[in-house]
Protein backbone atom coordinates (compact mmCIF):
# COMPACT_ATOMS: atom_id res chain seq x y z
CA UNK A 1 0.00 0.00 0.00
CA UNK A 2 1.33 3.43 -0.86
CA UNK A 3 1.10 6.29 1.66
CA UNK A 4 -2.24 8.15 1.71
CA UNK A 5 -2.35 11.47 -0.09
CA UNK A 6 -1.25 14.44 2.03
CA UNK A 7 -2.20 18.09 1.63
CA UNK A 8 0.44 20.68 0.74
CA UNK A 9 2.76 21.76 3.61
CA UNK A 10 1.19 24.35 5.90
CA UNK A 11 -2.45 23.43 5.32
CA UNK A 12 -2.78 21.18 8.37
CA UNK A 13 -1.32 24.01 10.50
CA UNK A 14 -4.34 26.17 9.74
CA UNK A 15 -6.71 26.68 12.68
CA UNK A 16 -10.24 27.09 11.33
CA UNK A 17 -11.47 30.67 11.13
CA UNK A 18 -13.88 31.48 13.95
CA UNK A 19 -16.78 33.70 12.98
CA UNK A 20 -18.81 35.71 15.47
CA UNK A 21 -21.31 33.67 17.49
CA UNK A 22 -24.89 34.25 16.30
CA UNK A 23 -27.12 31.93 18.38
CA UNK A 24 -27.74 31.95 22.12
CA UNK A 25 -29.52 29.23 24.06
CA UNK A 26 -32.76 30.48 25.55
CA UNK A 27 -32.94 33.58 23.34
CA UNK A 28 -34.88 33.39 20.08
CA UNK A 29 -33.72 36.80 18.83
CA UNK A 30 -30.42 37.66 20.51
CA UNK A 31 -28.76 41.00 19.90
CA UNK A 32 -25.78 40.10 17.71
CA UNK A 33 -22.88 42.50 18.16
CA UNK A 34 -20.13 39.98 17.42
CA UNK A 35 -19.29 40.40 13.71
CA UNK A 36 -19.08 44.17 13.06
CA UNK A 37 -22.14 44.09 10.84
CA UNK A 38 -24.10 47.20 9.90
CA UNK A 39 -27.12 47.27 12.25
CA UNK A 40 -29.20 49.03 9.55
CA UNK A 41 -28.87 46.09 7.15
CA UNK A 42 -28.29 46.62 3.41
CA UNK A 43 -29.17 49.79 1.51
CA UNK A 44 -32.78 49.66 0.23
CA UNK A 45 -31.45 50.40 -3.27
CA UNK A 46 -29.19 47.33 -3.06
CA UNK A 47 -32.16 45.15 -2.09
CA UNK A 48 -34.15 46.33 -5.11
CA UNK A 49 -31.19 45.75 -7.44
CA UNK A 50 -30.61 42.24 -6.10
CA UNK A 51 -34.25 41.31 -6.50
CA UNK A 52 -34.11 42.56 -10.09
CA UNK A 53 -30.98 40.53 -10.81
CA UNK A 54 -32.50 37.27 -9.52
CA UNK A 55 -34.54 36.80 -12.69
CA UNK A 56 -31.32 36.65 -14.72
CA UNK A 57 -29.89 33.82 -12.64
CA UNK A 58 -29.82 31.49 -15.66
CA UNK A 59 -27.15 33.78 -17.18
CA UNK A 60 -23.50 33.61 -16.26
CA UNK A 61 -22.37 36.84 -14.60
CA UNK A 62 -19.81 39.26 -15.98
CA UNK A 63 -16.24 38.03 -15.65
CA UNK A 64 -14.56 41.44 -15.67
CA UNK A 65 -16.96 43.16 -13.22
CA UNK A 66 -16.70 46.25 -15.43
CA UNK A 67 -19.94 47.82 -14.26
CA UNK A 68 -19.19 47.40 -10.54
CA UNK A 69 -15.61 48.60 -10.99
CA UNK A 70 -16.86 51.67 -12.87
CA UNK A 71 -19.30 52.47 -10.06
CA UNK A 72 -16.66 52.10 -7.35
CA UNK A 73 -14.20 54.18 -9.39
CA UNK A 74 -16.73 56.92 -10.03
CA UNK A 75 -17.91 57.20 -6.44
CA UNK A 76 -14.45 57.00 -4.87
CA UNK A 77 -12.42 58.82 -7.53
CA UNK A 78 -10.38 55.71 -8.38
CA UNK A 79 -8.96 54.24 -11.61
CA UNK A 80 -11.25 51.32 -12.62
CA UNK A 81 -8.31 49.49 -14.22
CA UNK A 82 -6.61 49.23 -10.85
CA UNK A 83 -9.60 47.54 -9.20
CA UNK A 84 -10.17 43.80 -8.76
CA UNK A 85 -13.39 42.50 -7.18
CA UNK A 86 -13.51 39.44 -4.98
CA UNK A 87 -15.68 37.25 -2.78
CA UNK A 88 -15.25 39.62 0.13
CA UNK A 89 -11.88 41.22 0.75
CA UNK A 90 -10.98 37.77 2.13
CA UNK A 91 -10.61 36.57 -1.45
CA UNK A 92 -8.28 39.43 -2.33
CA UNK A 93 -6.09 38.54 0.69
CA UNK A 94 -6.11 34.93 -0.47
CA UNK A 95 -5.26 35.78 -4.08
CA UNK A 96 -2.36 37.97 -2.96
CA UNK A 97 -0.92 35.06 -0.99
CA UNK A 98 -1.52 32.56 -3.80
CA UNK A 99 0.21 34.86 -6.27
CA UNK A 100 3.15 36.16 -4.28
CA UNK A 101 4.20 33.71 -1.57
CA UNK A 102 5.09 30.07 -1.15
CA UNK A 103 7.55 27.85 0.72
CA UNK A 104 10.60 29.79 1.92
CA UNK A 105 8.90 33.19 1.95
CA UNK A 106 7.24 35.13 4.76
CA UNK A 107 3.94 36.90 5.29
CA UNK A 108 4.05 39.46 8.06
CA UNK A 109 1.13 40.51 10.21
CA UNK A 110 0.93 42.18 13.57
CA UNK A 111 0.27 40.75 17.00
CA UNK A 112 -3.48 41.41 17.01
CA UNK A 113 -3.89 41.16 13.21
CA UNK A 114 -6.82 39.65 11.34
CA UNK A 115 -6.85 35.81 11.27
CA UNK A 116 -7.11 35.51 7.48
CA UNK A 117 -3.55 36.79 6.96
CA UNK A 118 -2.12 33.76 8.73
CA UNK A 119 -4.62 31.36 7.17
CA UNK A 120 -3.96 32.53 3.60
CA UNK A 121 -0.19 32.54 4.19
CA UNK A 122 -0.26 28.92 5.41
CA UNK A 123 -2.58 27.91 2.58
CA UNK A 124 0.06 29.13 0.14
CA UNK A 125 2.84 27.24 1.96
CA UNK A 126 4.49 30.43 3.27
CA UNK A 127 5.59 31.22 6.82
CA UNK A 128 3.42 33.65 8.78
CA UNK A 129 5.46 36.02 10.95
CA UNK A 130 3.86 37.91 13.82
CA UNK A 131 5.25 41.28 14.89
CA UNK A 132 4.47 42.87 18.26
CA UNK A 133 2.23 45.93 18.49
CA UNK A 134 2.73 48.80 20.91
CA UNK A 135 -0.22 49.46 23.21
CA UNK A 136 -2.67 47.97 20.68
CA UNK A 137 -1.29 50.10 17.83
CA UNK A 138 0.63 48.72 14.83
CA UNK A 139 4.35 49.38 15.37
CA UNK A 140 5.97 50.55 12.13
CA UNK A 141 9.51 50.40 13.53
CA UNK A 142 9.05 46.81 14.71
CA UNK A 143 7.84 45.79 11.24
CA UNK A 144 10.70 47.55 9.49
CA UNK A 145 13.21 45.98 11.88
CA UNK A 146 11.88 42.47 11.19
CA UNK A 147 11.25 42.69 7.43
CA UNK A 148 13.97 40.98 5.44
CA UNK A 149 14.88 39.44 2.11
CA UNK A 150 12.29 36.66 2.48
CA UNK A 151 9.39 38.94 3.44
CA UNK A 152 6.97 39.30 0.53
CA UNK A 153 3.72 40.60 2.03
CA UNK A 154 3.00 42.80 5.05
CA UNK A 155 -0.66 43.02 6.09
CA UNK A 156 -1.88 45.98 8.15
CA UNK A 157 -5.54 46.45 9.00
CA UNK A 158 -6.14 50.18 9.29
CA UNK A 159 -8.30 50.79 11.30
CA UNK A 160 -7.13 47.71 13.19
CA UNK A 161 -9.45 44.88 14.17
CA UNK A 162 -10.09 44.18 17.05
CA UNK A 163 -8.37 47.24 18.58
CA UNK A 164 -10.06 49.87 16.38
CA UNK A 165 -6.90 52.02 16.42
CA UNK A 166 -5.69 53.95 13.36
CA UNK A 167 -2.21 54.64 12.00
CA UNK A 168 -1.83 58.09 10.40
CA UNK A 169 -0.94 58.39 6.71
CA UNK A 170 2.61 59.54 7.52
CA UNK A 171 3.27 56.28 9.36
CA UNK A 172 1.88 54.24 6.46
CA UNK A 173 4.01 56.18 3.99
CA UNK A 174 7.10 55.59 6.13
CA UNK A 175 6.32 51.88 6.24
CA UNK A 176 5.84 51.65 2.46
CA UNK A 177 9.07 53.54 1.89
CA UNK A 178 11.10 51.47 4.33
CA UNK A 179 10.12 47.95 3.24
CA UNK A 180 12.43 45.94 0.98
CA UNK A 181 11.71 46.34 -2.76
CA UNK A 182 10.63 42.70 -2.94
CA UNK A 183 7.82 43.24 -0.47
CA UNK A 184 4.24 44.47 -0.86
CA UNK A 185 2.40 46.45 1.82
CA UNK A 186 -1.29 45.55 2.00
CA UNK A 187 -3.50 48.18 3.62
CA UNK A 188 -6.61 46.30 4.69
CA UNK A 189 -9.32 48.95 4.77
CA UNK A 190 -12.26 46.77 5.81
CA UNK A 191 -13.24 49.55 8.26
CA UNK A 192 -11.77 52.55 6.42
CA UNK A 193 -15.17 54.17 5.79
CA UNK A 194 -15.63 54.65 9.54
CA UNK A 195 -12.32 56.50 10.02
CA UNK A 196 -12.83 60.21 9.61
CA UNK A 197 -10.49 61.79 7.06
CA UNK A 198 -9.01 58.46 5.94
CA UNK A 199 -9.64 56.97 2.49
CA UNK A 200 -7.80 53.70 2.93
CA UNK A 201 -4.50 54.98 1.54
CA UNK A 202 -5.52 55.56 -2.09
CA UNK A 203 -2.78 58.12 -2.77
CA UNK A 204 -0.13 55.70 -1.54
CA UNK A 205 -1.38 52.98 -3.90
CA UNK A 206 -1.32 55.42 -6.81
CA UNK A 207 2.10 56.86 -5.99
CA UNK A 208 3.96 53.60 -5.41
CA UNK A 209 4.49 50.15 -6.91
CA UNK A 210 4.47 48.27 -3.61
CA UNK A 211 1.16 49.21 -1.95
CA UNK A 212 -2.21 47.47 -2.27
CA UNK A 213 -5.47 48.49 -0.59
CA UNK A 214 -8.31 46.08 0.16
CA UNK A 215 -11.88 47.21 0.78
CA UNK A 216 -15.23 45.56 1.43
CA UNK A 217 -18.98 45.92 1.11
CA UNK A 218 -19.38 43.79 4.27
CA UNK A 219 -19.13 46.50 6.92
CA UNK A 220 -20.27 50.09 6.19
CA UNK A 221 -22.41 48.90 3.27
CA UNK A 222 -24.20 46.24 5.31
CA UNK A 223 -23.61 43.44 2.79
CA UNK A 224 -21.53 40.91 4.77
CA UNK A 225 -23.78 38.09 3.58
CA UNK A 226 -23.40 39.01 -0.09
CA UNK A 227 -19.59 38.55 -0.09
CA UNK A 228 -18.18 41.38 -2.17
CA UNK A 229 -14.89 43.17 -1.64
CA UNK A 230 -12.21 44.65 -3.84
CA UNK A 231 -8.54 45.40 -4.13
CA UNK A 232 -6.91 48.59 -5.43
CA UNK A 233 -3.39 48.08 -6.70
CA UNK A 234 -0.85 48.94 -9.38
CA UNK A 235 -2.03 47.57 -12.74
CA UNK A 236 0.73 44.97 -12.91
CA UNK A 237 -0.54 43.44 -9.66
CA UNK A 238 -4.16 43.53 -10.82
CA UNK A 239 -3.07 41.69 -13.95
CA UNK A 240 -1.39 38.97 -11.87
CA UNK A 241 -4.36 38.51 -9.54
CA UNK A 242 -6.86 38.35 -12.42
CA UNK A 243 -4.96 35.41 -13.90
CA UNK A 244 -5.71 33.25 -10.85
CA UNK A 245 -9.13 34.65 -9.94
CA UNK A 246 -12.10 32.40 -10.71
CA UNK A 247 -13.73 33.88 -13.83
CA UNK A 248 -17.21 33.87 -12.29
CA UNK A 249 -16.24 34.53 -8.67
CA UNK A 250 -19.09 37.01 -8.10
CA UNK A 251 -22.71 36.16 -8.87
CA UNK A 252 -24.94 38.48 -10.88
CA UNK A 253 -26.96 39.17 -7.73
CA UNK A 254 -23.80 40.09 -5.80
CA UNK A 255 -22.58 42.38 -8.58
CA UNK A 256 -25.93 44.16 -8.85
CA UNK A 257 -26.30 44.58 -5.09
CA UNK A 258 -22.79 45.93 -4.59
CA UNK A 259 -23.08 48.35 -7.49
CA UNK A 260 -26.36 49.79 -6.20
CA UNK A 261 -24.88 50.01 -2.70
CA UNK A 262 -21.79 51.82 -4.00
CA UNK A 263 -23.97 54.38 -5.75
CA UNK A 264 -26.24 54.92 -2.72
CA UNK A 265 -23.80 57.42 -1.23
CA UNK A 266 -26.28 59.27 0.99
CA UNK A 267 -27.40 56.06 2.65
CA UNK A 268 -23.89 54.91 3.55
CA UNK A 269 -22.94 58.43 4.69
CA UNK A 270 -25.85 58.37 7.13
CA UNK A 271 -24.80 54.95 8.46
CA UNK A 272 -21.28 56.28 9.02
CA UNK A 273 -22.62 59.41 10.77
CA UNK A 274 -24.79 57.39 13.16
CA UNK A 275 -21.93 54.97 13.82
CA UNK A 276 -19.59 57.81 14.80
CA UNK A 277 -22.11 59.31 17.21
CA UNK A 278 -22.99 55.97 18.79
CA UNK A 279 -19.35 54.87 18.95
CA UNK A 280 -18.55 58.01 20.96
CA UNK A 281 -21.48 57.32 23.29
CA UNK A 282 -20.45 53.70 23.79
CA UNK A 283 -16.80 54.63 24.39
CA UNK A 284 -17.75 57.35 26.89
CA UNK A 285 -20.21 55.04 28.66
CA UNK A 286 -17.63 52.29 29.04
CA UNK A 287 -15.04 54.68 30.41
CA UNK A 288 -17.54 56.01 32.93
CA UNK A 289 -18.00 52.46 34.16
CA UNK A 290 -14.23 52.16 34.62
CA UNK A 291 -13.83 49.90 31.58
CA UNK A 292 -10.77 50.77 29.46
CA UNK A 293 -11.51 51.65 25.85
CA UNK A 294 -9.27 53.21 23.17
CA UNK A 295 -10.70 55.73 20.74
CA UNK A 296 -11.98 53.58 17.89
CA UNK A 297 -11.93 54.51 14.20
CA UNK A 298 -14.12 51.54 13.24
CA UNK A 299 -17.66 50.27 13.90
CA UNK A 300 -16.74 48.48 17.11
CA UNK A 301 -15.03 49.21 20.38
CA UNK A 302 -12.66 47.06 22.42
CA UNK A 303 -13.71 47.03 26.06
CA UNK A 304 -10.79 46.15 28.31
CA UNK A 305 -11.47 44.57 31.69
CA UNK A 306 -9.16 44.01 34.65
CA UNK A 307 -8.32 40.47 33.54
CA UNK A 308 -9.64 37.50 31.57
CA UNK A 309 -11.87 36.34 34.43
CA UNK A 310 -13.67 39.69 34.54
CA UNK A 311 -14.04 39.78 30.75
CA UNK A 312 -15.55 36.29 30.77
CA UNK A 313 -17.90 37.21 33.63
CA UNK A 314 -19.02 40.33 31.71
CA UNK A 315 -19.54 38.20 28.60
CA UNK A 316 -21.68 35.76 30.59
CA UNK A 317 -23.68 38.65 32.02
CA UNK A 318 -24.28 40.16 28.57
CA UNK A 319 -25.36 36.75 27.27
CA UNK A 320 -27.82 36.41 30.13
CA UNK A 321 -29.36 39.62 28.77
CA UNK A 322 -29.49 38.18 25.23
CA UNK A 323 -26.46 40.16 23.97
CA UNK A 324 -23.69 38.47 21.99
CA UNK A 325 -20.32 40.24 21.74
CA UNK A 326 -16.89 38.85 20.86
CA UNK A 327 -14.29 37.55 23.29
CA UNK A 328 -11.15 38.11 21.17
CA UNK A 329 -8.88 35.73 23.05
CA UNK A 330 -7.54 34.27 19.82
CA UNK A 331 -6.51 37.80 18.79
CA UNK A 332 -4.37 38.19 21.90
CA UNK A 333 -6.97 40.03 23.99
CA UNK A 334 -8.17 37.54 26.63
CA UNK A 335 -9.03 40.42 28.99
CA UNK A 336 -11.27 42.23 26.49
CA UNK A 337 -14.62 42.09 24.72
CA UNK A 338 -15.11 43.51 21.24
CA UNK A 339 -18.51 45.15 20.93
CA UNK A 340 -19.93 46.10 17.54
CA UNK A 341 -21.64 49.50 17.55
CA UNK A 342 -25.33 48.74 17.18
CA UNK A 343 -28.46 50.86 16.84
CA UNK A 344 -28.86 53.50 19.57
CA UNK A 345 -31.23 51.25 21.53
CA UNK A 346 -28.81 48.31 21.22
CA UNK A 347 -25.94 50.34 22.62
CA UNK A 348 -28.11 51.50 25.51
CA UNK A 349 -28.89 47.87 26.27
CA UNK A 350 -25.17 47.06 26.32
CA UNK A 351 -24.34 49.98 28.60
CA UNK A 352 -27.24 49.20 30.95
CA UNK A 353 -26.19 45.55 31.19
CA UNK A 354 -22.56 46.48 31.87
CA UNK A 355 -23.61 49.06 34.46
CA UNK A 356 -25.53 46.29 36.23
CA UNK A 357 -22.53 44.01 35.91
CA UNK A 358 -20.19 46.58 37.40
CA UNK A 359 -22.69 47.50 40.12
CA UNK A 360 -23.09 43.89 41.14
CA UNK A 361 -19.37 43.13 41.00
C1 LIG B 1 -9.67 43.47 9.26
C2 LIG B 1 -10.56 42.68 8.35
N3 LIG B 1 -10.16 42.49 7.10
C4 LIG B 1 -10.91 41.80 6.23
C5 LIG B 1 -12.11 41.24 6.60
C6 LIG B 1 -12.84 40.42 5.59
O7 LIG B 1 -14.05 40.92 5.28
P8 LIG B 1 -14.84 40.46 3.99
O9 LIG B 1 -14.22 39.21 3.44
O10 LIG B 1 -16.23 40.27 4.44
O11 LIG B 1 -14.67 41.60 3.02
C12 LIG B 1 -12.58 41.43 7.91
C13 LIG B 1 -13.84 40.81 8.35
O14 LIG B 1 -14.17 40.70 9.47
C15 LIG B 1 -11.78 42.17 8.80
O16 LIG B 1 -12.16 42.36 10.07
pLDDT digits (tens, 9 = 90+) for 305-355: 999 999 999 999 999 999 999 999 999 999 999 999 999 999 999 999 999
Q: Is the pLDDT of residue 360 over 70?
A: no
The verdict on 115 and 224 lying in the same domain is yes
Domain boundary residue, one of 206, 234, 263? 263
Q: Is residue 282 part of a domain?
A: yes
Contact 113, 131 (CB under 8 A): no
C-alpha 353 to ligand 1 mean position (Å): 28
Domain boundary residue, one of 231, 263, 295? 263
Choosing from 120, 161, 212 the residue with most ligand 1 atoms within 8 A of its CB, the one to mutate for a pocket test is 161
pLDDT of residue 255: 98
Atom of ligand 1 nearest to the CA of 229: 11
Choosing from 97, 109, 116, 158 the residue with most ligand 1 atoms within 8 A of its CB, the one to mutate for a pocket test is 116
The verdict on 331 and 244 lying in the same domain is no
pLDDT of residue 1: 67
pLDDT of residue 2: 79
The verdict on 319 and 252 lying in the same domain is no
Q: Which residues of 210-240 are buried (b: 16+ CB within 10 A; e: fewer)?
A: bbbbbbbbbbbbbbbebbbbbbbbbeebbeb
Torsion of CA 197, 198, 199, 202, to 10 degrees: 120
User: What are 35-57's pLDDT values in tens digits?
Assistant: 999 999 999 999 999 999 999 99
Contact 72, 83 (CB under 8 A): yes
User: What are 58-92's pLDDT values in tens digits?
Assistant: 999 999 999 999 999 999 999 999 999 999 999 99
Choosing from 22, 34, 89 the residue with most ligand 1 atoms within 8 A of its CB, the one to mutate for a pocket test is 89
Sheet containing 127-131, strands listed edge to edge, beginning at the edge strand earlier in sequence:
83-86, 229-232, 211-216, 184-188, 151-157, 106-110, 127-131
Give the CATH number, domain containing residue 300: 3.90.1150.10
- The per-residue pLDDT of the chain, averaged, comes to 96
Q: Is 324 left (phi over 0), alpha (psi -120 to 50) or beta?
A: beta
Contact 232, 202 (CB under 8 A): yes
| Local confidence band at 361 (pLDDT 50, 70, 90 cut-offs) | low
| Local confidence band at 125 (pLDDT 50, 70, 90 cut-offs) | very high
Mean pLDDT of 119-137: 97
C-alpha 144 to ligand 1 mean position (Å): 24
The verdict on 257 and 296 lying in the same domain is no
Q: How far is CA 225 from the centre of its chain?
A: 14
The verdict on 124 and 236 lying in the same domain is yes
d(C-alpha 337, C-alpha 339), whole Å? 6
Q: Is residue 4 part of a domain?
A: no
Q: Is residue 154 part of a domain?
A: yes
Q: Is residue 9 part of a domain?
A: no
The verdict on 154 and 73 lying in the same domain is yes
| pTM, full prediction | 0.96
Atom of ligand 1 nearest to the CA of 219: 10
| Local confidence band at 116 (pLDDT 50, 70, 90 cut-offs) | very high
User: What are 131-147's pLDDT values in tens digits?
Assistant: 999 999 999 999 999 99
C-alpha 215 to ligand 1 mean position (Å): 8
The verdict on 196 and 73 lying in the same domain is yes
pLDDT of residue 57: 97
Q: Is residue 298 part of a domain?
A: yes
Contact 33, 323 (CB under 8 A): yes
* Pocket, ligand 1, Cβ cutoff 6 A: 36, 88-90, 114, 157, 161, 188, 190, 216, 218, 224, 229
Q: Is residue 12 part of a domain?
A: no
Q: Is residue 7 part of a domain?
A: no
The verdict on 253 and 315 lying in the same domain is no
Mean pLDDT of 113-121: 96
Domain range holding 80? 44-263
The verdict on 334 and 205 lying in the same domain is no
Q: How many structural domains are present in the chain?
A: 2
Give the CATH number, domain containing residue 233: 3.40.640.10
The verdict on 109 and 203 lying in the same domain is yes
C-alpha 89 to ligand 1 mean position (Å): 6
User: What are 242-258's pLDDT values in tens digits?
Assistant: 999 999 999 999 999 99
Residues 6+ apart with CB under 8 A from 29: 322
Q: Is residue 14 part of a domain?
A: no
| Local confidence band at 20 (pLDDT 50, 70, 90 cut-offs) | confident
The verdict on 71 and 152 lying in the same domain is yes
| Local confidence band at 202 (pLDDT 50, 70, 90 cut-offs) | very high
The verdict on 83 and 135 lying in the same domain is yes
Domain boundary residue, one of 263, 298, 316? 263
C-alpha 231 to ligand 1 mean position (Å): 12
Atom of ligand 1 nearest to the CA of 228: 11
Amino acid sequence: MSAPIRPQPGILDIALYQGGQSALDGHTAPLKLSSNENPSGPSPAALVAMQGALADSHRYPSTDHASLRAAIAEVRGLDPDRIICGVGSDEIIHLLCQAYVGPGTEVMHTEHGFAMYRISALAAGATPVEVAERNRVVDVDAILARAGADTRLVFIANPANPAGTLLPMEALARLAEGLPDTCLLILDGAYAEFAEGYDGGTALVEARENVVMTRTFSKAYGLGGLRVGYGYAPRAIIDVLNRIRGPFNLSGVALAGAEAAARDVDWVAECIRVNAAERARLTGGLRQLGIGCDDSSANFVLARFANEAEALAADTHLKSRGIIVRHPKNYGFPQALRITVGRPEDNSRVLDALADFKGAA
